[in-house]
Structure 1
């Protein structure tokens, strides 16, 4: 398996888990936040839905400049977030399928105007996007737990699934 195939496989695995998590977000929770310094559910869900699109961005541009980018989308319902997720997944999958190993070695930068946060090979940006997706999905799991929403398993059964198995 080459690196592109590895990323395609990872994208599909992470997509399945992300779909499960986004699908359970109650529409009436989008304005909720656990702490004033925390994102709202809307901000977090919107961010999670868009993260898979980072692969497409990394493969089709040389940088992301926050000083010139549009403000992130903020969804107010699960259906719109899921539609965004599917669009981002499809675009990124198509770009990965068309990519070459040389494309993965190209430098890519994240900046805000003159301040460059990093310049890394596209392959590292893709790996980082998977890490960010996992991180923020786990953050959403904590938010949902605080809202008393049953959490599905990610890489194995969740505590809710384990309790159901033990206690029925």
Structure 2
């Protein structure tokens, strides 16, 4: 299996759990924060929803320079907008995971802020990091939902909430 096929398969599998998790985010709790240093649930969920589109960014650009492109998260105001954004981002990322992009995976991609370089890695590593970020931030969201006493779905098997229901 080539890397593009592997990434596509993983993105599709993780999308199932990500979608179930995002469906649990209550609009009325968008401003809630676990801790003052934590992102609000809205910002965290928005970030999770956008991450599949990082595949597109990695494959179609050679760098991200925060000095020239400051990060401005999408302004979503309802769970329905969040889910629609995730589906657009997912479709966007999946569309770029096509066989002809396999040859781009070893090309370097740079993350910087002006002259300060944060990382310089192959595009394959950026895609891998993006997939890992989905899983990492989804786990953070699970903690937030747990603290709000919202049942969480299982990721790689049933959650404690799902086991209690059966």
| Cα shift at 1:98 | 5.2
TM-score norm. by structure 2 comes to: 0.95
Q: Which sections of structure 2, spanning at least 5 residues, go unmatched?
A: none
Q: For the residues of structure 2 that align with 1:152 and 1:94, how far apart are their CA atoms?
A: 27
CA deviations on 1:113-138 (whole Å, 9 max, x unpaired) are 21111011111111111111100000
Partner of 1:161: 162
TM-score norm. by structure 1 comes to: 0.94
**Structure 1 residue ranges (4+ consecutive) displaced by more than 4 angstroms after TM superposition:** none
Partner of 1:62: 62
Q: For the residues of structure 2 that align with 1:124 and 1:63, how far apart are their CA atoms?
A: 13
The answer to whether the Cα contact below 8 Å between 1:151 and 1:158 also exists between their aligned partners in 2 is: yes
Q: Number of paired residues?
A: 165
CA deviations on 1:132-152 (whole Å, 9 max, x unpaired) are 110000000000001110101
Q: Which sections of structure 1, spanning at least 5 residues, go unmatched?
A: none
Partner of 2:30: 30
The answer to whether the Cα contact below 8 Å between 2:59 and 2:101 also exists between their aligned partners in 1 is: no
CA deviations on 1:8-39 (whole Å, 9 max, x unpaired) are 10110011111000011111000110111111
